[in-house]
Amino acid sequence: MLGSPLARTAAFAALLTVLLVGWEQCASRDLRAKAVAQLDVSLEETARAVAAELGGRAVGAVPAAQLAEIANRAGRAAGVRVTLIDADGFVRADTEVAAAQLAGIENHAHREEVAAAAAGGVGRATRLSHTVGRTLRYVAVPAPGGGVVRISDDFADAEASVALARSHALGVMAIAVVAALALLHGFVWLFHRRPLADVRRMAAAVVDGRLEARAPRIADRDLASVARAIEQVAGQLRSRLREVVRDEAQLGAVLEAMVEGVLVVDTRGAILLANSRLRELFDIHGEITGRPLLEGVRNADLDAILAESAATDATVARSIALPGHRTVQVLAARFPSEGERTGTVTVFHDTTELMRLEEVRRDFVANASHELRTPLAAIRGFAETLLESASLSPEEQKNYLEVIHRHAQRLSNLVEDLLELSTIESRSLRLEIAPVDVARTAENLIADSRLRIEERRISAALRSDGRPLALADARALDQVLGNLLDNALKYTEPGGSIEVVVEERLGRVRVAVVDSGIGIPAEDTARSFERFYRVDRARSRALGGTGLGLSIVKHLVQAMGGDISVKSQLGRGSTFSFTLPRAARGPS
């Protein structure tokens, strides 16, 4: 039977179908494995970023409100579910569960991914979540101080992408089977050589990628139907090709839009893919696809990370330093195919700003502790003296009490400034923006400070250009000008001068406070608006300064839509100037 043309056609069609079905199954498994690997890399990166925010503290040692804030912020930013679990397996925060319901959640210590993370590894699992009623992919990492950070995302998205790719593969497979059968049908039933040659040329054109081929005019109905089938296949292939090109363009757009750098290398270390963010991070300008890693990226630390990932066949996370005082978190993971390693995908997250904010936080805590310690030590010392010494005269007791009161007032001022600065930075300060006569505000402040000005034998003047109106909050503007004027009075020697300038410039209102004081060193000018920065610490403390005034001024000006700057010369004086939006002058 196999000797007949029809039998050979059927056998070939069956064999082709089996081969294509096998290919589709292998491709589907490979696509699913890649989708899960990409999802795992993203979830693990988010988990490690959340773990870093704990600052080395155990999950159980962080207040519940702060845990909830960390979890919710990370969940909103990444669009995932965040669960924070203490060392005993109890859930301390979950973006999908209200705080009041956390106590009712069962202990997670024996969950597969939690147990793996608690043991020091990276836990992964896929299962139906009874809490949210969906199948989720879980990735858990250990928190540095103890406990587990678990990130989960809807697994249906990964399954949907695999299903879409599989449907495309099935479509291509079906088209291939139809094309093969159509060609075989033509060859079996063809009797005329010239029409057969025409069909052969048409099929060859389709194979070569000329999918615009059209069926020739053939008298034989059977052969003509074969030609039309090939034409239809070519049309469908054109449609599929357009879809593939569109999908590749979408994937490329996603990679180019990512804030993280992405690098993919094969098992030999050759670069397969590098997005624009990676090129920006490593200052790469030429084409690097296909080149060896060290030749394309030229970073020994990165080469060591990829070598470790290849040697251990595990996900490797490290931080590396880049030129320009930048720090990058690197996460390298393999992407398998049929159980064999085919390459490594590496994600780069720029943590420079995060590290800077952490340094600012540490400096703030250290400075605040120092500023609080001095008056507290003085209050405690004088109070102990009053308690332990019975031989003090009433005058001495009064002097000690005055010292205690002075330092207590300093503490009160410091706490009030800290609270005000916190209110401004959290944007919870309500401003009433309206047209304000800046020159009048300056006049009133100079008049209120007249006694101090005369005592210090300083000349103070106002120079106004047409009394422009600014869009500002009257109380905030009064505080800004008051702080700048007070600052000028503190650091201007007797016999010096202070001038407040109000003018309109480029459609905005510019205000400058110019003094002939001690000035600021050039290397410290940029730090003028930092918390607790003082040009002369001894003088500032003696005059009751907290070191927060200029920081408050900066944030108030920015909150009103303005900007502020300083120019200074040591021993010659300083000019603090800020601008505000100009208000349209109404009828007088």
Q: Is the pLDDT of residue 498 over 90?
A: yes
Q: What percentage of the chain carries pLDDT values higher than 90?
A: 15
In the sheet that holds 81-85, the strands lie side by side as 91-94, 81-85, 148-154, 134-142, 123-129
The partner residues of 497 in beta bridges, in order of sequence, read: 459
528 or 141, which is more confident? 141
> Per-residue pLDDT averaged across 154-172, rounded?
63
Return d(Cα 435, Cα 448) in angstroms, integer.
22
Neighbours of 323 (CB within 10 A): 7
Q: What is the pLDDT of residues 536-561, one digit of tens each?
A: 544 444 444 566 778 888 888 888 89
Residues forming CATH 1.10.287.130 domain(s) in the chain:
354-425
**Res 540: pLDDT:** 47
pLDDT of residue 539: 44
Q: What does CATH list as the number for 259-350?
A: 3.30.450.20
CB atoms within 10 A of CB 550: 22
pLDDT-derived band at 218 (thresholds 50, 70, 90) equals low
Q: What is the structure's pLDDT at 587?
A: 44
* Cα 481 from chain centroid (whole Å): 36
- The more confident residue out of 79 and 219 is 79
List the one residue out of 294, 292, 276, 293 whose CA is nearest residue 284.
276
The CATH topology of domain 354-425 is: Helix Hairpins (1.10.287)
409 or 401, greater pLDDT: 401
Gap between the Cα atoms of 84 and 140, Å rounded: 10
The torsion angle over the Cα atoms of residues 261, 262, 263 and 266, rounded to 10 degrees, is 170
**pLDDT value at 371 more than 50:** yes
Asked if residue 395 has pLDDT above 90, the reply is no
Beta-carbon contacts of 137 under 8 Å, excluding residues fewer than 6 positions away, are 36, 39, 40, 43, 124, 125, 126, 152, 153, 154, 155, 158
Report the 3 state secondary structure along 80-128: CEEEEECCCCCEEEECCCCHHHHHHCCCCCCCHHHHHHHCCCCEEEEEE
CA dihedral 68, 74, 77, 82 (to 10 degrees): -80
Instruction: Identify the weakest region by mean pLDDT among 147-156, 335-344, 519-528.
Output: 335-344
| Integer CA distances (angstroms), 107 to 80, 102, 113, 115, in order | 21, 10, 13, 11
Mean pLDDT of 359-381: 69
> Which DSSP letter does residue 526 get?
G
When the pLDDT of each residue in the chain is averaged and rounded to a whole number, the result is 79
Grouping H, G, I as helix, E, B as strand and the rest as coil, residue 63 is coil
Q: Residues 519-545: what's their mean pLDDT?
A: 63
pLDDT value at position 270? 87
Cα 213 from Cα 231, distance rounded (Å): 7
- pLDDT on residue 321: 86
Residue range 433-581, CATH number: 3.30.565.10
Spatial contact of 102 and 120, defined as CB atoms under 8 Å apart: no
| CB neighbour list of residue 50: distance below 8 Å, 6 or more residues apart | 70, 71, 74, 82, 84, 149, 151
pLDDT at 341 over 60: no
**Is-contact 58 51, C-beta < 8 A?**
no
Measured from the Cβ of residue 455, the count of other Cβ atoms closer than 10 Å reads 10
Residue pLDDT, tens place only, 15-36: 666 665 555 566 556 666 777 7
pLDDT band at 3 (very low <50, low <70, confident <90, very high): very low
**Stretch among 72-76, 103-107, 543-547, 567-571 having the lowest mean pLDDT:** 543-547
The pLDDT, as a whole number, for residue 284 is: 84
What is the rounded distance in angstroms from the CA atom of residue 249 to the CA atom of residue 499? Answer: 61
The amino acid occupying position 299 is: N
* Cα–Cα dist 192/171, whole Å: 32
Per-residue pLDDT for 170 more than 50?
A: yes
| Euclidean distance between the first and the last CA atom of the chain, given in angstroms as a whole number | 109
Share of the chain above pLDDT 70, in %: 73
> Higher confidence at residue 242 or residue 486?
486
Q: What is the pLDDT of residue 510?
A: 94
Q: How confident is the model at residue 400 (pLDDT cuts 50, 70, 90)?
A: confident
Q: What is the per-residue pLDDT for 22? A: 58
CA neighbours closer than 13 Å in the CB half-sphere of residue 232: 14
Least confidently predicted of 186-200, 207-221, 230-244: 186-200
Name the residue type at position 268: R
For 164-225, the DSSP string reads HHHHHHHHHHHHHHHHHHHHHHHHHH---HHHHHHHHHHHHHHHTT-TT--PPP-S-HHHHH
Contact criterion met (CB below 8 Å) for 579 and 530:
no
Beta bridge partners of 461: 499
Residues of the chain with CATH 3.30.450.20: 1-189, 259-350
Residue 376: pLDDT over 90 = no
What is the structure's pLDDT at 276? 85
Specify the pLDDT at position 370. Answer: 61
Q: Which long-range contacts (CB under 8 A, 24 or more apart) does 301-310 make?
A: 302/330, 302/346, 305/330, 305/332, 305/346, 306/265, 306/269, 306/332, 306/344, 306/346, 308/332, 309/333, 309/334, 309/344, 310/267, 310/334, 310/341, 310/344
At residue 286 the predicted structure's pLDDT band, cuts being 50, 70 and 90, is confident
Helix, strand or coil, per DSSP, at residue 545:
coil
DSSP collapsed to 3 states, 314-376: CCEEEEEEECCCEEEEEEEEEEEECCEEEEEEEEEEECHHHHHHHHHHHHHHHHHHHHHHHHH
pLDDT in tens, 231-264: 777 777 777 877 777 777 777 677 776 778 888 8
* Global confidence as pTM: 0.41
Task: State the Cα–Cα distance between residues 514 and 441, nearest whole angstrom.
Answer: 16
pLDDT bucket at 150, cuts 50 / 70 / 90: very high
CB 431 within 8 A of CB 560: yes
Residues sharing a CB contact under 8 Å with residue 405, sequence separation 6 or more, in sequence order? none
* Homologous superfamily, domain 1-189: PAS domain (3.30.450.20)
